[in-house]
Structure 1
């Protein structure tokens, strides 16, 4: 890549980072309008979180443009990045993954994955996405039924979306998407046990671990080409 190519890619990453910051700011406002629920606990995020959401979304979006190929996958990856920041923050704060956020996240994810599959000329990837979403949804549903105190239905629905991303990329990526959430979640739980000296039954937000694991897989699997 020549100097001009490097300049253009860097400029594009910078513009995308600015757009991501705006999306992160909008996400904070969206969460602030959250309906009350779960015994009166809503999904509004503190005002001091707003610049951090903007910064995090901007950084993730720049990383997507710099690392992810093909460009047809950018909309899906950018949407995932926005979801990682907003949904992760909401779940971390309120222990909630409400339908009004997960639902639109799932719809747009499906649409952008469809565009990516058609753009790369491999519509068969849609079957992988569908199968991956159903498979990870089923696994989380069984676990939630076995241990309802550990996983909520929000986690189960989110698993379907993340499984679709993994399935779109292939079954190796799907396995890592599934394992990544459990590995990060397990490490988080262990750290909380040590720091808080809490019992195993204490609830913690599992969504951020799922989201970060899926994002790491997407960036690794599409680094230079999906």
Structure 2
């Protein structure tokens, strides 16, 4: 769809040609002038059949976007795995508050705990609710292939690191996508019940991506390859290298 902003020339079948003066894409309402400099008319993009000046319809999505982007990300990673980019991994986990869910894509070595961070390859549901984009030049509601194209343009070097074979993980991911998409996501959250020790490989938590969906009732999801033994290990950040720059020489 073309850009929609104040100054855009539009056509309305009852009013003729006009100019937009204000746009609210959160609600789908615009204000426009039709021949009068002092009076504006409020129009709803969902019902008033507004068109661009060349006759192209202006379509406003009535249904809200998924409250979490994880299912869209899973579909994108699934297609990239099929195309040979199997060293691409999707990590999802909740914020401490439990109100929103984070996500992180990473490529290269499959190290879940010491994964590398890349700009635009991670995000939070709190940000997504306000601006439903992934952060690499994509548009709200972009399709799977549009997301892949935008990511390839945004960070071709990073995506090139995902080119290679990881058959165990890609097979696990394919089975997970088959069971969960399009309405559910997985969370790699190792929970401690009541502050106790980590459970021995419980089922992977599954969360619906829309509030209207019922709780997940399908088969249990196993943990991805590379997580064996992580429940019993102690997770600590790498020790910071000592800084001797401030010590005077003797």
Whether TM exceeds 0.5 here: the answer is no
TM-score of the pair, normalised by structure 2: 0.24
More helix by share: 1
**Higher relative contact order (Cα pairs below 8 Å, separated by 6+ residues):** 1
